[in-house]
Chains A and B, each alone.
Chain A
Amino acid sequence: MAPSAIAAAGTGSEAASTDYGDALALRERRFAAALLAPAFLALLATTTFPLMFLIWTSAFRMDLAMPFTNGFVGFENYRVLLSDERFWSSLLVSLVYTGSTVALQVVIGLALALLVMDMKRGQGWFRLIAILPVVLSPAVVGMIWRTFMLAPEFGIVDFLSINAGLGSQNWLGDPVLAMVSVIAIHTWQWTPFAFMVLLASLASLPEDIYEAARLDRASAWQRFRRITLPLLRPAIVMVVIMRTMVALTAFAAIFTVTAGGPGTATEILNLYAYRKSFTELSIGYGAALAVALLIVTIIISGILFALRRAK
């Protein structure tokens, strides 16, 4: 939107002499461009410029530990990246994390929404309570889960597990359990978002179709499968797109809960880029990892948007 307004203001000058109406329109456009300019410049300075700088940095070797080796290396960082096993394994962790959290959020969110739709009383309260996890900072959520919920012997989850006869588990110390834990935490925090969106669109579905279906003796499953799901499709796809983008770039919760551990079991790509840049101080390579994450995110959301348009 912003670039087109600027462009419009720029090309307006030829039309200026024709008549008063055009001149007025031109002034209007100039005024609009002037109003837009500060926001546009701020956006440029805070998002576009840093992004360009990141891509620029990724073409350098910038290693604070060995300043004498710094210099322009072109695509060298990307060549190294493609043969870096830890890059591929962290990408895989990212994809597993994103895929499973998004699927769980949509399924649980939809189930909850369907359940709550039929609630006669207390719907408002339920919605209010359900939204609470969303407003918490992911870092705080991470700390709470790490200390109160998942700590062996002392945590609530472990307490339940012991009482259920499953025994005490090392929730964050075992590679598989740690992955399950971070997925559960993300799902716990963000399912309410999917739930709220789906509940809102469920409420807006026309009642008469269902009535017609009931008259035709469609079963509950058939009504859900043939009416509710297709009608909810745009909302579901929207939830999937938004949650996928956020899950791919998740950071705070995993960082505070496992910091990518044990070993590298929960090290998502974002975390690996962070470690490379700020712990290992290889800024150039870290930037290349961040660009790789950007590319992955763009591809995946491109596919999702294409799916949304299809049909």
Chain B
Amino acid sequence: MTSFTPTRRTLLKTGTAAAALATFAPAVLRQAAAQDADLSPYKSAKIDWQQTKGETITVAVIPASYFENLIALAPQFKELTGIDVRFEKIPPAQIRQKSVIDLTSKTGTYATHAADPMYYALYAANKWVEPLDTYLNDKSLTDSAWFNVDDIIPAWRSANGINGKLYGMPYDGEVTIQVYRKDLYDAKGLKPADTLEAYVANAAALNAPNDRIWGAALRGVAGAGQNMYIYPSIFREFGGDWMKGGKLTVNGPEAEAALAWYVDVMKKYAPTAAANWNWPDIADAFSQGTVASYIDAHSSASVINNPEKSKVIGKVAYARWPKGPSGKRTTSIWNWGFPINAALPDKKKKATWLFIQWAASAETQARTAHRFAGPTKRAGVNRTSIWKDPDYIKLMNGFGPNFVEATMDALQHDTDVDWRPRVPQWPAIGDTMATAIQSALSGQVTVKAALDEAQRRIEPMMRG
């Protein structure tokens, strides 16, 4: 009679097998799920997707639906390339600092991260990130016909380039446009503003704080990406030039007129609280029906069209930025791009590039946007071709009349690469300007004093 007596060896074997099973079972399951997805559109690219198989890279993104959709597709990328991607979600307020600390310490923690276009000058000056041209031109790494980089929205590529070299691949972006309550405008026979003057007149006509309706709202909270995201457009529309005579200049008559316009709109026609508002607060107030119009990112349309929260669905329409006294319209150029961390070993850089190429490809862009299975679709795809895709247009037009037209016009005609001063000192300049704008708005100092003080602080920053 033989009875089973577990020896040390069999125990170890069973244990190992069990451990292996526990480790790999989720991976196997994930793979099974990923297999459902058709990878042939990617495999038609004439490159070896598997060339850095087995690598692991960490990617820092912000917790936003457009990145969540990408994270949801990561198993497909793993199956295509054999590269493991670990995503780290960092709130937008901290992601810049965290990546700068990682880049300056050269630890290579984040192979790539969602980067602010205003930071490429700083990154390039320190050689913290790699120029992407090398990768784009390498035939073993990129099938240029398949990837078709020229299809990626030119304004965003120019925003992510320094001296003609591309440093970050745009993944998702936005432009600022006018958003207004069509029902209120129609009731008073108003048209969306074509000039900044008309914008003020519209706001004045609809402003009725006693009925809890305010005429307008702009970002008021201080920050390089908050009030200093809206003000530069106004500054440029008033004819301002950041690099007047090659010297960074933030004061002067155009700047004073622009800041005075902003302070005037905010003080007379915006809710008092708007002085501390960022875009989600504006969009919330608008969806509650208390704000008649605002100028902000086109992507905020998804918030004001959220059926669970919004009371204004079907009453919203869109238009381009109003023209300034200089006759110019200037929208924001914003996109989250992916650079390659220069501190990585060569093989990881290649793996990172494969990830970037995958994420920015037309196929992945479509799969995370109108072809995404989940409830939230992206409004900031990076491809001109997708913006012309009838399926995508149909989806986007659900946000309200003129949405796609206003966005496309802004993207094609209203962008301006020198919208904000693109210098390595931007973090300091952005913060100084943000403080100055808020000081003027709060009445702590006059418009002129705020700008002159900012100029005085900025000058030593620019000196070597």
Contact = CB atoms under 8 A, between A and B. Distances in A.
Genuine A/B complex: yes
A190 to B, nearest CB: 24
Interface residues of B, number: 37
Contacts of B424: 65-66
A64 B464 contact: no
Contacts of A175: 442-444
B273 A281 contact: no
B237 to A, nearest CB: 24
Contact of A153 (B273, B432, B439, B440): B273
Nearest to A281: B427
A281 B100 contact: yes
B222 interface: yes
B273 A170 contact: yes
A65 B122 contact: yes
Contact of A262 (B125, B223, B444, B464): B444
B464 A282 contact: no
A262 B100 CA distance: 26
Contacts of B299: none
Contact of B427 (A65, A172, A174): A65
Contacts of B275: 170, 172-173, 262
Nearest to B426: A65
Interface in A144-181: 146, 151-154, 168, 170, 172-175, 178
B276 interface: yes
Interface in B217-241: 220-224
B303 interface: no
Nearest to B122: A65
Contacts of B442: 173-175, 178, 261-263, 265
A275 interface: yes
Given A262-B439, A263-B439, A173 B100 contact: no
Interface in B405-450: 424-428, 431-432, 435-436, 438-445, 450
A279 B431 contact: yes
B125 A65 contact: yes
B126 interface: yes
A71 to B, nearest CB: 11
A68 B464 contact: yes
B100 A261 contact: no
B148 interface: no
A211 interface: no
Interface residues of A, number: 32
A139 to B, nearest CB: 12
B161 interface: no
A66 B425 contact: yes
Interface string B46-69: 000000000000000000000000
Contacts of A69: 464
A263 B438 contact: yes
Given A65-B125, A66-B125, A263-B442, A154 B431 contact: no
Interface string A250-284: 00000000011111110000000001001111100
Contact of A67 (B125, B439, B443, B444): B125
Interface string A16-45: 000000000000000000000000000000
B127 to A, nearest CB: 9
Contacts of B440: 263
B104 interface: yes
Contacts of B134: none
Interface centre among B221, B223, B276, B438 (most CB of A within 10 A): B276
A282 B428 contact: yes
A64 to B, nearest CB: 6
B289 interface: no
Contacts of A282: 428
A153 B272 contact: yes
A261 B431 CA distance: 12
B131 interface: no
Given A261-B438, A261-B442, A265-B442, A281 B428 contact: yes
A259 B464 CA distance: 29
A168 B272 contact: yes
A69 B463 CA distance: 9
B222 A262 contact: yes
B438 A280 contact: no
A279 B428 contact: yes
B326 interface: no
Interface in A63-78: 64-69
B97 interface: yes
A21 B90 CA distance: 62
Interface string B91-102: 000000100100
B431 A65 contact: no
B322 interface: no
B435 A263 contact: yes
Contacts of A262: 222, 275, 438-439, 441-442, 444
B371 to A, nearest CB: 37
B215 to A, nearest CB: 16
B100 A64 contact: yes
Interface in B270-286: 271-273, 275-276
Nearest to A275: B431
Contact of B273 (A64, A152, A261, A265): A152
A185 to B, nearest CB: 15
B415 to A, nearest CB: 25
Nearest to B439: A263
B428 A65 contact: yes
A280 B125 contact: no
A73 to B, nearest CB: 13
A281 B429 CA distance: 11
Contacts of B100: 64, 281
Contacts of B443: 174-175
A153 B122 contact: no
5 A-B pairs with the lowest CB-CB distances in the bound complex, closest first: A263-B439, A262-B442, A280-B428, A173-B275, A152-B273
5 contacts: A66-B464, A152-B272, A172-B275, A262-B441, A263-B436
Interface of A: 64-69, 86, 146, 151-154, 168, 170, 172-175, 178, 259-265, 275, 278-282
